[in-house]
Amino acid sequence: MGSLQVYVRLDQPNAALEFYEKASEKHPGDVSLILGIARIHDALNDVGQAVQFYKKVLHFDSSNVEAIACLASHHFYTDQPEIALRFYRRLLQMGVNNAELWNNLGLCCFYASQYDMTLNCFERALAMSNDDNMADIWYNIGQIAIGIGDLGLAYQSFKIAVSVDSQHAESFNNLGVLELRKGNVDQARSNFQTAARVAAHMFEPFFNGALLAFKLGDFQESFELANKALTAFPEHSDSLELIRQLKAHFTML
């Protein structure tokens, strides 16, 4: 497998795929080879192919944790929480028991409208959490609190998330939105700026900051931030519309 590792490290996925496929032809039931193909398709964002190979893994090894977890995640993010829930419960029955699994179960229960189980899952997730995953769990609790309209719980959850992880951009961004709802403009702007600084790949804090600047009449700052949002997400329709409005405003000056 030495040459395969070289292909992967040299960022030559097609060569690695070819290597795996040739090896898989000689050893058609070798789960490690099929998993390797699935991972590379995953890394290339070829979700359809990745899913097919993860399913193939389960054909040969019905208790493969990685394949089950990846298929569960796929179904969750394609708006099929009920199916994802079945996969995650299967992992639980197999003896997998960690914070990430309970966190994912909690999210699936919520989006599958099994609200009575949601809180219990997140309580278990927090009980097993550590500094590496606690902020993400509190962030998800905050998202669910927004979903049920409990903005007080959402605010506290995001506050805890950033106290655990001072680089948790998603929580800073959401805190900015909630501060804005309270009328705390300076605090909202500060949170958007922090989120943008620690996660320049996210478009949301740039767009939210641009929208706030626009409403405050700071059109130049709004224009700059909206362009940064489009750098992160070129097809973002709201940013494109904001840029259109700003250009119209500038031509009138």
Same structural domain, 28 and 68: no
HEC readout, 205-216: HHHHHHHHHHHC
Highest mean pLDDT among 1-5, 77-81, 113-117: 77-81
More confident residue, 2 or 199: 199
| Residue range(s) defining the domain that contains residue 119 | 63-128
Specify the CATH number for the domain of residue 225: 1.25.40
More confident residue, 33 or 129: 129
Q: Which residue has the tokens 């931030």?
A: 225
Same structural domain, 159 and 193: yes
165 domain-assigned? yes
The pLDDT assigned to 26 comes to: 76
40: which 2 tokens? 């590379």
More confident residue, 124 or 31: 124
- Indicate if the pLDDT at residue 192 is higher than 80: yes
**Tell me, what DSSP letter sits at residue 151?**
H
Q: Which one of 199, 226, 242 terminates a domain?
A: 199
Same structural domain, 31 and 9: yes
- Indicate if the pLDDT at residue 5 is higher than 70: no
173 domain-assigned? yes
The chain-wide mean pLDDT, for the chain, equals 92
Say how far apart CA 159 and CA 27 lie, in whole Å.
52
Q: Decide: 24 and 33 in contact? Cβ < 8 Å.
A: yes
pLDDT digits (tens, 9 = 90+) for 153-186: 999 999 999 999 999 999 999 999 999 999 999 9
Dihedrals phi, psi of 206, to nearest 5 degrees: -65, -45
Same structural domain, 143 and 183: yes
- Indicate if the pLDDT at residue 7 is higher than 50: no
- Indicate if the pLDDT at residue 43 is higher than 50: yes
Same structural domain, 7 and 38: yes
**Tell me, what DSSP letter sits at residue 46?**
-
More confident residue, 64 or 29: 64
122-149: burial string, b at 16+ Cβ within 10 Å, e else: bebbbebbeeebbbbbbbbbbbbbbeee
Domains of the chain: total: 4
- Indicate if the pLDDT at residue 15 is higher than 80: no
70 domain-assigned? yes
Q: Which one of 172, 199, 226 terminates a domain?
A: 199
Assign 11 a pLDDT band (cuts: 50, 70, 90). Answer: low
Same structural domain, 14 and 55: yes
| C-alpha torsion sign, points 102, 107, 113, 115 | positive
- Which residues, 6 or more positions from 191, have their beta carbon under 8 angstroms from its beta carbon? 172, 173, 175, 176, 179
133 domain-assigned? no
Say how far apart CA 224 and CA 94 lie, in whole Å.
51
- Indicate if the pLDDT at residue 6 is higher than 50: no
Specify the CATH number for the domain of residue 149: 1.25.40.10
Q: Which one of 173, 199, 225 terminates a domain?
A: 199
Query: What residue type is 219 in one-letter code?
Result: F
The pLDDT assigned to 1 comes to: 46
